[in-house]
Structure 1
Amino acid sequence: MTSATTRTSDRRISPVFLGIAAITAVTGWAVWTGFASSPGVAVFLFVTGAWIVSLCLHEYAHARTALHGGDLTVGAKGYLTLNPLKYTHAVLSIVLPVLFVIMGGIGLPGGAVFIERHRIRGRWKHSLISAAGPLTNVLFAVVCTAPFWLGALDGVPLGFRFALAFLALLQVTAAILNFLPVPGLDGYGVIEPWLSYRFRRQVEPFAPFGLLAVFAVIFIPEVNRAFFDGIFAVMDGLGVSRAEVACGQDLYRFWTEQYPQCTALLNR
């Protein structure tokens, strides 16, 4: 279906994405081998690169599902090339999520690709298009934590282990936040086709502010504590401890070094 309805150039992987993936691979190798003189810098570049790759795959999942659902315009818009510069809200999709990771270690849901919903028929298709993005984050989290819950950490360098733990935290937070049934987030997009037309029209004006409202609520101390307790309960279920996540975040934010014992472990 795809080859018959989109040009080859519309589906060719962007050099921008390939460059990001290459940086992620090289810095991941540097973390694994200890090649970098500063492990924190290598972890920062590796996790940031992998986080951007996951954001690109998140948006690609939306677009690819929309293509098969009936919106053939996603190819011409460049969404199938994995190029983050083609997103309708590049700042929301890439820049802000990266800034939030740097500042607070939260996997901020990115902005959305523009899907022409009127071209898609069937409520299940609309729901699946919305769910495809955060499901990508779920899959990414499963892959990152696989060595932990499979008990396959023998031979995995501590720096790489900590980096994976922090990267997994970002994926889990992104998936959970995205699945919240709040207007403007993917979770609401999943249930929206099943709501009454009147209710959807009433809620529609609030969609641009949904994400801001979520973060305003999360910064309430009691809510923040409950939210991260839930996040770490999921991480514990995946075999990743708080200490491993904390060390990963500390290495990532190498300019702060809040937990020098983590650096000491790497220098043994």
Structure 2
Amino acid sequence: MSASSTRSGPQISPIFLGLLAVTGVSAWGVWADAAVPTGFAVFLFVVSAWIVSLCLHEYAHARTAFHGGDVSVGAKGYLTLNPLKYTHALLSVVLPVLFVVMGGIGLPGGAVFIERDRIRGRLRHSLVSAAGPLTNAALAAALTAPFWLGAVDDVPVAFRCALAFLAMLQVTAAVLNFLPVPGLDGYGVLEPWLSPALRRRVEPFAPFGLIAVFACLWIPEVNAVFWQGVDSLMTALGVSWQETAYGLEYFRFWEGEPRNVTVPR
């Protein structure tokens, strides 16, 4: 990192700015019903916005760690919002996007390497872990603001449903990330407060935590409880299940765009 960049702070990555541009253009395409098919525009909008949210999630971890004492995150490029700088781009970007395409669920991403020995205080360690899913929660609140403020009546239906689906992804990412399972951020929030002996016993299971969570989601009873909880949160945020479901149908443009779309007024 050069002296000039140190003085002015890390520069935002052109890759991230490009993702923002794709998000903005595709959002306009959905809103204006431009020449491209609506479903394809929804797909571009949701995928690009989802990758932007993954970048913000990881940035939140890194920025909190930086202020907590781990200045190494700057040299690693984590503060540039460049997804290619993550420790494992496959886990942080590729797999979450694939899960959205295949299952319509916000997979917790993951990996900025934090040098925890540089951070002092259990509270700071907990905040570093909580920062990512709290970002997803904040994005969910922002994306659903037009719904709970009653400002969606004049919004084009396709854009309204795309926002609903994108917000649902943020809700699922926040819920899954906050689970107190080794390897997920929820456990990272609790870990500093556990005894060293318990942490050592749990540590070997961390690489398998996310796999275990998704294995549990294949159990019909667990899956039903999970989605009922997500639906309850979305309803509390003013979004109906119809809007989310139609958003998923628009997103999967290769299956054909939804017909006779009716959403609550």
Give TM class, smaller chain: over 0.9
Residues in 2 aligned to 1:114 and 1:223: alpha-carbon distance in whole angstroms? 31
The answer as to 2:174 corresponding to 1:175 is: yes
Question: How far is 1:153 from its partner?
Answer: 1.1
Does the CA contact (< 8 Å) of 1:54 and 1:137 recur in 2? yes
Where does residue 107 of structure 1 map in the other structure? Answer: 106
For residues 70 and 45 of structure 2, the distance between their equivalents in structure 1, rounded to whole angstroms, comes to 34
1:209 aligns with 2:208: yes
2:78 matched to 1:79? Answer: yes
Q: TM-score with structure 1 length normalisation?
A: 0.94
Deviation at 1:144, TM superposition (A): 0.5
TM-superposed CA distance for 1:259, in Å, is 4.3
2:200 and 2:97 map into 1 onto residues whose CA distance is 32
| 43-52 or 28-37, larger mean C-alpha shift | 28-37
What stretches of structure 1 of length at least 5 have no aligned partner?
none
Q: For residues 261 and 76 of structure 1, what CA distance do their matches in structure 2 show?
A: 52
Instruction: State the Cα deviation string for residues 204-231 of structure 1 (Å, max 9, x = none).
Output: 0110000000000011111111100110
Do residues 49 (structure 1) and 45 (structure 2) align?
Answer: no
Change over 3 Å in CA distance of 1:258–1:18 after alignment to 2 = closer
Matches of 1:8 and 1:27 in 2, distance apart? 35
Which amino acid in structure 1 is aligned with residue 127 of structure 2? Answer: L
Distance 1:202 1:9 in 2: 44
Letter in 2 for 1:53: V
Query: How far is 1:160 from its partner?
Result: 0.5
- 1:66 maps to 65
1:35 match: 34
Q: Residues 150-198 of structure 1: CA distance to partner in whole angstroms, max 9, x if unpaired? A: 0011321111100000000000000000000000000000000000000
After the TM superposition, list the runs of 4 or more consecutive aligned residues in structure 1 that deviate by more than 2 angstroms.
257-262
What's the counterpart of residue 154 of structure 1?
153
- Assess if the C-alpha contact under 8 Å between 1:10 and 1:81 holds in 2: no
RMSD: 1.7
Q: Which residue of 2 aligns with 1:254?
A: 253
CA distance in 1, matches of 2:10, 2:177: 26
One-letter identity of the residue aligned with 2:60: A
Measured after TM superposition, the shift of residue 111 of structure 1 is 1.3
CA distance in 2: counterparts of 1:186 and 1:9, whole angstroms? 31
Match of 1:21 in 2: 20
**Native 8 Å contact 2:39 2:257 kept in 1:** no
Q: CA deviation at 1:36?
A: 3.4
Q: Which amino acid aligns with 1:234?
A: L
Tell me how far 1:100 sits from its aligned partner. 0.2
Whether the aligned pair in 2 keeps the contact of 1:10 and 1:76 (CA below 8 Å) is: no
Tell me the secondary structure at the aligned position of residue 261 of structure 1: coil
- The residue type paired with residue 18 of structure 2 is G
Q: What is the percentage of aligned positions where both structures have the same residue?
A: 68
**Could you tell me how far apart the structure 1 residues matched to 2:6 and 2:113 are?**
19
After TM superposition, give the deviation of residue 256 of structure 1 in Å. Answer: 1.6
Partner of 2:232: 233
Distance 1:34 1:79 in 2: 36
SS at match of 2:132: helix
Distance 1:240 1:118, change over 3 A: same
Spell out, residue by residue over 1:231-259, the C-alpha distance to the aligned partner (whole angstroms, 9 max, x if none). 00000001100000000000001112384
- Give distance in 2, aligned partners of 1:93 and 1:42: 24
Distance 1:229 1:53 in 2: 27
Structure 1 window deviating more from structure 2 (27-36 vs 9-18): it is 9-18
- Contact kept in structure 1, 2:29 and 2:36, CA below 8 Å: no
The question of whether the paired residues in 1 share the 8 Å contact of 2:250 and 2:257 is answered with no
Aligned residues: 261
What is the aligned partner in structure 2 of residue 184 from structure 1?
Answer: 183
